[in-house]
């Protein structure tokens, strides 16, 4: 039976047919192609980086691309995952809490994604069980095949319809052989069968081991991983080989023999100074052209668009390599041992540094044991300070100590979410005279709850249920630093992931003390951006939002760009001082 007949068959498996190919309204077979990326040997090798980069190369050619990450865990979203175990939680504009790879896709493709671009086993099984309860399967016993795999296929096709994509890029989480992603692999095998020839391009990302005691690259683990993929019915078209050094032709030839993939389609994805160099590596290897040929979509390419996009990207990469200035930014956190916990901050600083001809060196400071007494020793050599988002009590007082040091010693400061709240607490305590001011998250019995859960949020039950998530409009106060950063736009859109707010009862006290709330929610007394006037501090900004989620390589987020510029000015001032010269402290404004 050919693909057209299969797709025209009944969308519900009955006693008359075993085919189960549910089609969303408006789906046009053959219009959308699929690139599916699998991992072998081990996780964490960069499937998202490779997939997003290859997608960028096709987008640059004028094609419409749409990525999706298929996660094996049973969580419905990533919101309750520990950053130590899974890296940062990335929040989309529509409020979906996702895997950090969605951030990689948004940055590389420079496009906002939605909940359609992310799926977990929890989501898939929930949809299947809801249909079962409604009787949608017409009395059939509900099984992994065809019903669960069918739900995966309709998820992919729904994305194709919603985005009108030429190519959907599917990243299958985990590695081949994991129990939890087995049905994903089966689903995309079925998808390729149903869609017909030239419909799918399968990519295996594997790892080439280079044991120090042997002094040569070994491919056996990669061979076994690819064998597992072949056993699942997937013949890869392309193999991306991860490793510290460029993968030798000898190793690629050996892999070709075991995988039936030509050597020309064995891509060496070795370590490089920035992931933003990988697009040129892919183009240099001809992988983008190979994908077009495999999917038979060469005629959809717009050469003029490709030339313009490549020129712009080449200039950006050139700035990364030619950065002449140097600046040190300290990130104050409690997950500093796992860099993926702050992936978007790292990239936002890289974007801002590239735009200012600077290399940004990040100094990681664990605030668990940081105190006012140790602040000079720990922070004295920094040109800028960031207090990122977070939850809970541990490390909070250390963050407050860091903020106080930044405020009193004229160190450029950017507070993100929790860092915004801690800045409010620090200012209330040390400037406004509200001793023991705190957040009720940290101290429920604080005499001055300057940060609290607002009444309407308290009525929402469940962990994560009372979170403000996703994009929100923010009104910008004219004449402020925030207005300058956002080019005097009266309103901007930022992304949020928080539960606590500045208590409106304390806004007047804080403002009388000199704190400026330069951004607020349009319809409620909810403060979203704070700052100190330039006459008091060179750069002291906090936001309840997570602006790091919106930074792009060619469009650095304004708050990060402002921080790096201010840090560069501080670096220049310090460089002009004699060794051991003291850094001036700023007198704190006092209440009238």
pLDDT of residue 226: 95
Radius of gyration of the chain (CA): 26
| Average pLDDT score over residue span 286-305 | 96
Please give the DSSP secondary-structure letter assigned to residue 149. H
CA 75 to chain CA centroid, Å, is 18
pLDDT digits (tens, 9 = 90+) for 560-576: 999 999 999 999 998 88
pLDDT digits (tens, 9 = 90+) for 258-283: 999 999 999 999 988 899 999 999 99
Listed residue (579, 241, 535) closest to 381, CA to CA: 579
Q: Is 546 a known active-site residue?
A: yes
For residues 382 and 329, the answer to whether their CB atoms sit within 8 Å is yes
pLDDT of residue 21: 80
Q: 449 has which bridge partners?
A: 438
Q: What angle do CA 137, 72, 94 make, to 5 degrees?
A: 85
Measured CA to CA, the distance from residue 119 to residue 96 in angstroms comes to 10
Q: Is 461 a known active-site residue?
A: no
Q: For the purposes of burial, counting CB atoms within 10 Å of the CB of 389, is it exposed (0-12), middle (13-18) or buried (19 or more)?
A: buried
- 231 pLDDT more than 50: yes
Lowest mean per-residue pLDDT among 25-39, 243-257, 327-341: 327-341
pLDDT of residue 143: 92
3-state secondary structure string, 9-44?
Answer: CCCCCECCECCCCCCCCCCCCCCCEEEEEEECCCCC
- 463 pLDDT more than 60: no
Task: Say which residues have a Cβ less than 8 Å from residue 95's Cβ, sequence separation at least 6.
Answer: 469, 470, 471
Lowest mean per-residue pLDDT among 242-251, 470-479, 562-571: 242-251
Using alpha carbons, list the distances in angstroms from residue 416 to 21, 56, 191, 221, 540: 45, 29, 42, 42, 12
Q: Which pairing describes strands 325-333 and 501-502: parallel, antiparallel, or unpaired?
A: unpaired
DSSP for 71-121, written as a single string = E-SS-SSSTT--HHHH-PPEE-TTS-EE-THHHHHHHHHT----GGGEEEH
Place of tokens 């925030």: 482
Of 69-83, 85-99, 552-566, the range with the highest mean pLDDT is: 552-566
CA 68 to chain CA centroid, Å, is 13
Q: Which pairing describes strands 325-333 and 384-387: parallel, antiparallel, or unpaired?
A: parallel
Give the alpha-carbon dihedral of 407, 413, 419, 425, to 10 degrees: 10
Give the mean pLDDT of the chain. 91
Considering the candidates 147, 347, 430, 546, report the single residue annotated as catalytic: 546
Neighbours of 468 (CB within 10 A): 18
pLDDT of residue 587: 47
Considering the candidates 71, 195, 501, 548, report the single residue annotated as catalytic: 548
pLDDT of residue 398: 94
Cα maximum dimension of the chain: 87
Neighbours of 98 (CB within 10 A): 26
pLDDT of residue 503: 95
Domain ranges of the chain: 3-315, 325-572
Q: Which helix (H) or strand (E) holds 203?
A: strand 200-207
Q: Do domains 3-315 and 325-572 have the same CATH topology?
A: yes
- CATH architecture of the domain with range 325-572: 3-Layer(aba) Sandwich (3.40)
- 102 pLDDT more than 50: yes
Considering the candidates 409, 417, 501, 537, report the single residue annotated as catalytic: 417
pLDDT of residue 500: 93
CA 36 to chain CA centroid, Å, is 20
114, two tokens: 């939605």
pLDDT of residue 575: 85
pLDDT of residue 396: 92
Q: What are phi and psi of 450, to 5 degrees?
A: -65, -20
| Average pLDDT score over residue span 136-146 | 88
Q: Which helix (H) or strand (E) holds 309?
A: helix 303-322
Using alpha carbons, list the distances in angstroms from residue 527 to 269, 464, 477, 500: 45, 21, 11, 11
Measured CA to CA, the distance from residue 41 to residue 535 in angstroms comes to 56
For residues 530 and 518, the answer to whether their CB atoms sit within 8 Å is yes
pLDDT of residue 489: 97
Measured CA to CA, the distance from residue 382 to residue 332 in angstroms comes to 12
CA 441 to chain CA centroid, Å, is 26
pLDDT of residue 136: 87
CA 220 to chain CA centroid, Å, is 32
Measured CA to CA, the distance from residue 99 to residue 373 in angstroms comes to 38
Measured CA to CA, the distance from residue 80 to residue 464 in angstroms comes to 8
Per-residue pLDDT band at 181 (split at 50, 70, 90): very high
Measured CA to CA, the distance from residue 425 to residue 416 in angstroms comes to 14
Using alpha carbons, list the distances in angstroms from residue 313 to 167, 276, 317, 553: 21, 9, 6, 9
| Average pLDDT score over residue span 297-312 | 95
Q: 350 has which bridge partners?
A: none
pLDDT of residue 497: 93
Listed residue (95, 99, 91, 26) closest to 68, CA to CA: 99
Using alpha carbons, list the distances in angstroms from residue 433 to 101, 230, 585: 44, 68, 19
pLDDT digits (tens, 9 = 90+) for 423-438: 999 999 999 999 999 9
Place of tokens 């008359």: 16
pLDDT digits (tens, 9 = 90+) for 358-412: 999 999 999 998 999 999 999 999 999 999 988 878 889 999 999 999 999 999 9
Q: 39 has which bridge partners?
A: 205
- CATH homologous superfamily for 3-315? P-loop containing nucleotide triphosphate hydrolases (3.40.50.300)
CA 168 to chain CA centroid, Å, is 19
Q: Is 537 a known active-site residue?
A: no
Task: Say which residues have a Cβ less than 8 Å from residue 577's Cβ, sequence separation at least 6.
Answer: none
| Average pLDDT score over residue span 524-531 | 94
pLDDT of residue 464: 45
- 338 pLDDT more than 60: yes
Residues of the chain above pLDDT 70, percent = 91
For residues 40 and 228, the answer to whether their CB atoms sit within 8 Å is yes
Task: Say which residues have a Cβ less than 8 Å from residue 33's Cβ, sequence separation at least 6.
Answer: 166, 167, 168, 198, 199, 200, 201, 295, 297
pLDDT of residue 8: 52
Listed residue (327, 277, 335) closest to 100, CA to CA: 335
């Amino acid at each position: 039976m050919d693909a057209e007949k299969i797709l025209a068959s009944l969308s519900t498996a009955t006693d008359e047919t075993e085919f189960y190919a549910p089609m969303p309204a408006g789906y046009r077979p053959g219009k959308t192609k699929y690139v599916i990326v699998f991992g072998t040997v081990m996780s964490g090798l960069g499937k998202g980086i490779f997939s997003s980069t290859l997608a960028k190369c096709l987008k640059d050619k004028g094609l419409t691309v749409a990525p999706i990450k298929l996660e094996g865990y049973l969580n419905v979203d990533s919101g309750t995952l520990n950053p130590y175990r899974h890296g940062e939680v990335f929040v989309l504009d529509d409020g979906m809490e996702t895997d950090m790879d969605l951030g990689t896709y948004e940055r590389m493709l420079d496009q906002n994604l939605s909940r359609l671009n992310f799926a977990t086993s929890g989501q898939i099984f929930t949809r299947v069980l809801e249909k079962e309860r409604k009787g949608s399967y017409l009395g059939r016993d509900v099984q992994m095949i065809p019903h669960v795999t069918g739900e995966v296929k309709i998820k992919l096709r729904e994305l194709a319809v919603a985005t009108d994509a030429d190519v959907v890029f599917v990243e299958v989480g985990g590695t081949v052989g994991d129990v939890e992603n087995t049905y994903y692999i089966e689903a995309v095998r079925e998808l390729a069968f149903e869609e017909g020839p030239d419909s799918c391009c399968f990519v295996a990302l594997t790892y080439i081991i280079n044991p120090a005691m042997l002094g040569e690259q070994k491919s056996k683990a990669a061979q076994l991983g690819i064998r597992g993929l072949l056993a699942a019915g997937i013949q890869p078209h392309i193999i991306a080989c991860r490793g510290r050094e460029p993968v030798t032709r000898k190793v690629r030839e050996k892999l070709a023999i075991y995988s039936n993939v030509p050597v020309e389609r064995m891509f060496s994805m070795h370590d490089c100074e920035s992931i933003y160099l990988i697009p040129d590596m892919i183009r240099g290897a001809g992988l983008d052209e190979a994908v077009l040929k495999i999917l038979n979509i060469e005629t959809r390419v717009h050469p003029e668009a490709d030339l313009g996009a490549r020129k712009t990207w080449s200039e950006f990469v050139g700035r990364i390599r030619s950065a002449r200035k140097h600046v040190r930014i300290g990130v104050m956190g409690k997950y500093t041992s796992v860099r993926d916990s702050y992936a978007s901050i790292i990239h936002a600083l890289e974007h801002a540094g590239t735009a200012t001809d600077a290399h940004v060196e990040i100094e990681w400071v664990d605030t668990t044991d940081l105190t006012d007494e140790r602040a000079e020793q720990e922070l004295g050599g920094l040109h800028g300070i960031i207090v990122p988002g977070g939850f809970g009590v541990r490390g909070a007082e250390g963050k407050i100590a860091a903020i106080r040091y930044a405020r009193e010693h004229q160190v450029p400061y950017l507070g993100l979410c929790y860092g915004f709240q801690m800045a409010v607490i620090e200012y209330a305590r040390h400037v406004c005279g509200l001793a023991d001011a705190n957040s009720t998250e940290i101290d429920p019995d604080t005499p001055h709850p300057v940060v609290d859960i607002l009444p309407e949020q308290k009525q929402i039950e469940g962990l994560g249920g009372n979170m403000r998530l996703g994009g929100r409009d923010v009104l910008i106060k004219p004449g402020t630093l925030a207005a300058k950063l956002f080019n005097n736009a009266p309103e901007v859109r930022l992304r949020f992931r928080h539960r606590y707010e500045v208590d409106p009862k304390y806004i007047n006290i804080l403002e009388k003390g000199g704190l400026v709330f330069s951004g607020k929610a349009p319809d409620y007394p909810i403060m979203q951006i704070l700052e100190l006037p330039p006459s008091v501090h060179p750069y002291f900004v906090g936001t309840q939002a997570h602006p790091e989620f919106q930074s792009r390589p060619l469009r650095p987020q304004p708050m990060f760009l402002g921080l790096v510029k201010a840090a560069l000015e501080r670096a220049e001032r310090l460089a002009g001082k004699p060794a051991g010269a003291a850094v001036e402290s700023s007198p704190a404004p006092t209440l009238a």
